[in-house]
């Protein structure tokens, strides 16, 4: 695990592959990447606004299919929502070549662990509200 006041990185390895979470904070907002496997990429984006509302965009993965990483983002969001101070953007993409059933079963529990670690870090390292002014 690696962290400072505005960034945090953690990973978990099970069933022969690694999933990683990278968090970066700007003011009270956070950007989180959940990536890993043999081909890390960006396939699904989820936003969570400061009211807790979510939106998801799943990018095309191959003809007739979209990326399915929402199943990895959901346990992360569930874990971090109580710790969020404002908006969050989560980007995820993970591909394990020739994935086995055991590797598939491990993915959601791995994401849950990463979400819990992110939530713990957010609670231990709250952001600080910066005064914002607007032109008149």
CATH 3.40.720.10 fits 2-96, yes or no: no
pTM higher than the cut 0.85: yes
Cα angle, residue 59 at apex, residues 122 and 15 outer, rounded to 5°: 60
Bridge partner residues of 93 (DSSP): 35
Quote the radius of gyration of the chain (alpha carbons, Å): 16
State the pLDDT at residue 36: 96
Per-residue pLDDT tens over the stretch 15-27: 999 999 999 999 9
Average pLDDT estimate for 72-88: 96
State the pLDDT at residue 130: 85
State the pLDDT at residue 27: 92
State the pLDDT at residue 72: 94
């Amino acid at each position: 695990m690696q962290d400072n006041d505005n960034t945090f990185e953690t990973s978990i390895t099970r069933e022969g592959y690694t999933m990683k979470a990278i968090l970066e904070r700007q003011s009270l907002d956070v950007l989180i990447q959940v990536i890993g496997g043999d081909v890390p990429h960006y396939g699904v984006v989820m936003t969570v606004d400061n009211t807790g509302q979510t939106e998801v965009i799943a990018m095309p993965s191959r003809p007739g299919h979209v990326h399915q990483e929402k199943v990895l983002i959901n346990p992360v969001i569930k874990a971090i929502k109580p710790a969020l101070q404002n908006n969050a953007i989560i980007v995820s993409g993970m591909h394990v070549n020739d994935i086995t059933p055991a590797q598939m079963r491990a993915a959601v529990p791995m994401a849950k662990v990463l979400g819990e670690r992110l939530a713990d870090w957010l609670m231990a390292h709250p952001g600080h509200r910066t005064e914002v002014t607007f032109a008149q």
